[in-house]
Amino acid sequence: MSRIKRFQTIVSSLKHGGYDQTVPLFNANKISIFSCRGLVRSLTTSERADGKTLAGAAAVASVEKNGKWDSVQTAFQKRVRGGPVSWLGLGLLLLTGGGLIVYYDKEKKQHIEGLRSASTTVKQGPSVGTAAIGGPFKLVNHHGKTVTEKDFLGKWTLIYFGFTYCPDICPDELQKMAAAIDKIKAKAGLEIVPVFISVDPERDNVEQVSEYVKEFHPNLVGLTGTSDDVRQVARAYRVYYMKTEDEGSDYLVDHSIVMYLMNPKMEFVKFFGKNYNEDTLSEGVINAIKEHKQSEI
């Protein structure tokens, strides 16, 4: 910005209210008489002839006479206070600020509501392939008969992994399974084979498993086997299990709490976690079977 324009900006600020600060001017030693004439001409033709402006103009004019710039510096290097704020201006300011607050508050609520709706709405995406869950196995049922996955072909199967010494979770899950398959049969006429596979082969022998499954449902099939056999079926179904700190024969087994729905080809269809109750489990199985049948048409 040129010196003349800088000077005009300062004077314009003084004219329209200005601000509360000391206004430093430029170096007096570097300004020419020609520039002073331009400043005087600008002040007398374009600025308001109030006391402050005339004082500055007079000081500039004196430069032409005696070449001293100090008078100009003294005339404008003062504290200039802004004019009073009108009630109309204050009202407009408050009205504008209040409107912005209301607008952004509304936008914020709409944004939060949108995030909440997106988090609670389940979108069904396209199905790609089949989950690698399931596979061949060889175990012993609660009657002492060796069985494989082929013995369950042609039937819908619901499989749960647990152990008979489980204090609470396994009994709760098996009771839920038993109640759900009865509801499924009553509502949809579908026969579901419930299967319990032990992940504690050290204690869950055939006799132990046989007594255990009788407590839940007459159709519940109990399976056990050697440590290698159990490890193989758990790996095939992506089931985690691990014996906790050994304290003699009294120990627990950490394991996945999941039920697997397998179709009549012993192919995985859907899994159901602990968050399902007997009603949502039965409805979930019915819906999964309907969707699976429609996909095969």
How far is C-alpha 175 from the chain's CA centre?
35
Helix ranges, the chain (H): 3-15, 33-46, 51-66, 70-76, 87-120, 169-188, 206-213, 227-236, 278-296
Angle at 165 between CA 161 and CA 170, to 5 degrees: 40
Instruction: Find out whether 142 is annotated in a ligand binding site.
Output: no
Query: Is the sign of the CA dihedral 207, 212, 218, 222 positive or negative?
Result: negative
Backbone angles phi, psi at 195, to 5 degrees: -130, 135
Instruction: Find out whether 292 is annotated in a ligand binding site.
Output: no
d(CA 122, CA 217): 34
Instruction: Find out whether 36 is annotated in a ligand binding site.
Output: no
Contacts for 57 with CB less than 8 Å, ≥ 6 apart: 40, 43, 44
Contacts for 26 with CB less than 8 Å, ≥ 6 apart: 3, 6, 7
d(CA 42, CA 6): 12
d(CA 180, CA 158): 10
Characterize the bridge pairing of strands 146-148 and 156-162: unpaired
Nearest Cα to Cα of residue 196 among 228, 168, 230, 232: 230
Return binding residues.
166, 170, 255
Return binding residues for Cu cation.
166, 170, 255
